[in-house]
Amino acid sequence: MAILLPPHLPAINLLRQEDIEIDYVTLSSPPVLKIALLNLMPVKPTTETDFVRLLSASPLSMQLDLIKIKNHISKNTPESHLQAFYKNFEDVCHLHYDGLIVTGAPVELLAFEKVHYWDELCEIFDWAHRQIRSTLYICWAAQAALYHFYGVPKYPLAQKMFGIFPHHIHQAGVPLFRGFDDVFFAPHSRHTEIRSADILKIPELQLLSESDESGVYVVMADKGRDIFITGHSEYAPETLHNEYMRDLSKGLSITMPKNYYVNDCIDKGISVRWRAHANLLFSNWLNYYVLP
């Protein structure tokens, strides 16, 4: 594939170490899809790499622009990185994009209105719904957008939803799930949830996929203009392990991620069972919802 990225973005070298070769789109190249990534995660280079990895699996040519919240000070990403690779919403709101990805954020235990950038985020949500062919809202962003557009509440969990969970599809024939198996796996890492009973009350929403254990997974609105995904299919194999080790080192009450380590034994390594699903999910999104 060919993808236009900000020059010298660290993700490029990291992915080349995984034998993923990324070619650059030049000015003489055919027209490309324009994708924006609104990155709300604290360690932004890691999240960039996760999403570039998935987008690079597509044969489509595309340009990826990185967007940040204007007045949020990142404690875990150097300001030099943000200055070099990111744009503010006001810098891109007049531009055309075919697709948008909005990441999760570590603010899920706060009331939505208590998030200090909530007003700017709602402005971006409304802009995306008007201007962009299809938007993927991931994890907390899915909860936030469902609340903003439809008033869907979130609920605190007694214990963190943490691990790799099996999911099933409710509606056959939806292009987003073309080629999927009857049961597929996806990572979750969150302290709150949305509930199917609330989704089913709203005629404009389609509950497309669910898990018996981790609950609502994919919700769609407006024929795919808005797609809400509560999990983290973009996660690299070691991401949940790093989260687990981090929380243990802080003395937090955390259980081992479910269905993640081979035979639930850290020493036996990680059982990676969601990457094929993740690649197919993003490929289908680009082909059937973003591509003109």
Q: Is 232 a catalytic residue?
A: yes
Q: Which class for 150: exposed (0-12), middle (13-18), buried (19 or more C-beta within 10 A)?
A: middle
Question: What span, in angstroms and rounded, lies between the C-alpha atoms of 218 and 196?
Answer: 10
3-class SS of residue 11: helix
User: Is 234 marked active-site?
Assistant: yes
Side-chain-side CA neighbours of residue 262 (13 Å): 6
Of 108, 167, 193, 232, the catalytic one is 232
Coil, helix or strand at residue 49: helix
Instruction: Write out the two tokens for 126.
Output: 């409304």
Q: Classify residue 93 by burial, with Cβ atoms within 10 Å: 0-12, 13-18, 19+.
A: middle
Catalytic residue among 48, 193, 210, 234: 234
Task: Judge whether 178 and 229 are in contact, CB under 8 Å.
Answer: no
Per the listing, tokens 């150097």 go with 78
SS3 183: strand
Contact 51, 104 (CB under 8 A): no
Query: DSSP E strands: which ranges in 105-224?
Result: 134-138, 155-169, 183-193, 205-211, 215-221
Computed over its alpha carbons, how large is the radius of gyration of the chain?
18
**Choosing from 108, 139, 188, 210, which is the catalytic residue?**
139
Residues assigned a catalytic role: 139, 232, 234
